[in-house]
Amino acid sequence: TQVDKGGHKHFMAKEIAEQPTVLGEAIRHYLPNDGTQICLPGGDLDFSKVKRLVMVACGTASYACLTAKYWFEQIAGIPVEVDVASEFRYREPPITEGTVALFVSQSGETADTLAALRYCSGKADRIVSVINVPESSIARESDLALPILAGAEIGVASTKAFTCQLSVLLILALKAAQDRGQLGAEELNQHLCDLRALPGLINQAIGSESKISQVAAKLAETRDILFLGRGRMFPLALEGALKLKEISYIHAEAYASGELKHGPIALIDQHVPVVVLAPHDELYDKSISNMQEVMARAGKVLLITDAKGLKDGAEGTWDTIQMPQVSDILSPILYAIPAQLLAYHTAVAKGTDVDQPRNLAKSVTVE
Ligand code: G6P
């Protein structure tokens, strides 16, 4: 089928805008009917006896895995190891009894991820994949392939596939928690209810686009940008930096906020904008104190937070972007939107080829 830009200037813009719709579809697929129960159409996966989860992917998909590690460990109590496929496949990691191996790939054809899957075949208890293309090699070689239902993604920089991967992984983590008796019925219900409301919040986040494009026009002037996040916001900081460097060619790096003191603070001066991803959650105060360390060295902080976060922490920042209030576990999915829009509008301001950035391929099928 012909895929067009649907009135948008770039596929990436279209794919960002599609997120409320495709996320809604993905969520309904795994929470069918009235949405109060988790179903895995196409085969069950019982987490009650799982001892360890090994998650392997490349690029943006690997950051979806890293985010999911926080969910699986905190909500379901399952130890998780995350690795990039190119490292995993040559390290000969021991796959111990009770291990489920989970591979995340938009295309389902990434050479390193497929090789990592083949390494685990016959060793892991189960080979599970989270993919966008059901007829792909990774899907076919898995015991269970879970679709993310994002629809065709054309822009080289992944956007809607990332948030759909996150949604499916979160649903899996909730299922794991349920299987292991780690979540009461009421708590689970609340999480599912929050998930069903997520597409609406994503829509609201997209509503900040014009504000974000103003900030992006300022970012386009800079040479280096730092992204900081803590807890579940750390993988998203990595994704925000990746997105920005891929399409705007601005040097961007991400650090766990707590690592600031262990190196990157040496880079801070008035020329380096620092993007701080900090919803008003249990780690907010820690993020704000890191942010203040940046400002004390004349660093320009762009704070992305919610209304409560702005009330308590906006003073002295270079600029701010306000997100709607969201439940803690969902924040990495919601905050992916400003990260994507920031990268997109910075690239547009610089006039780069957003959908076909230099030197990059949509799918890396050779090593
Ligand atoms: C390439 C793409 C990225 C993608 C990565 C993994 O680098 O440019 O957008 O995240 O491959 O691809 P996959 O299809 O396995 O998710």
pLDDT tens per residue across span 243-301: 999 999 999 999 999 999 999 899 999 999 999 999 999 999 999 999 999 999 999 99
CB-based contact 68:80 (threshold 8 Å): yes
Token code pair at residue 66: 């890293």
How does pLDDT run across 222-232, given as a tens digit for each residue? 999 999 999 99
Token code pair at residue 10: 């770039």
* CA–CA dist 333, 176 (Å, integer): 19
Dump the DSSP string for 90-147. Answer: HH-----TTEEEEEEESSS--HHHHHHHHHHTTTSSEEEEEES-TTSHHHHTSSEEEE
For the chain, 367 residues long, give each residue's pLDDT as a single digit of tens. Answer: 467 999 999 999 999 999 999 999 999 999 999 989 999 998 889 999 999 999 999 999 999 999 999 999 999 999 999 999 999 999 999 999 999 999 999 999 999 999 999 999 999 999 999 999 999 999 999 999 999 999 999 999 999 999 999 999 999 999 999 999 999 999 999 999 999 999 999 999 999 999 999 999 999 999 999 999 999 999 999 999 999 999 999 999 999 999 999 998 999 999 999 999 999 999 999 999 999 999 999 999 999 999 999 999 999 999 999 999 999 999 999 999 999 999 999 999 999 999 999 999 898 988 8
Q: What is the ipTM of this complex?
A: 0.97
Identify whether 362 is a catalytic site residue: yes
Q: What is the pTM of this model?
A: 0.97
Cα 60 to ligand 1 centroid, rounded to whole Å: 6
CB-based contact 171:128 (threshold 8 Å): no
DSSP state at residue 8: -
Ligand 1 contacts CB of residue 113 (under 6 A):
yes
Cα 220 to ligand 1 centroid, rounded to whole Å: 24
User: CA 185, 187, 189: angle at the middle one, nearest 5?
Assistant: 65
- Please give the backbone phi and psi of residue 150, each rounded to the nearest 5 degrees, phi first: -80, -15
Ligand 1 contacts CB of residue 360 (under 6 A):
yes
Q: What is the pLDDT of residue 2?
A: 60
Ligand 1 contacts CB of residue 129 (under 6 A):
no
Cα 243 to ligand 1 centroid, rounded to whole Å: 11
In ligand 1, which atom is closest to the CA atom of 162?
10
Total Cβ atoms within 10 A of residue 361: 11
Of 11, 12, 58, 84, the residue with max ligand 1 atoms within 8 A of its CB, to mutate for a pocket test, comes to 58
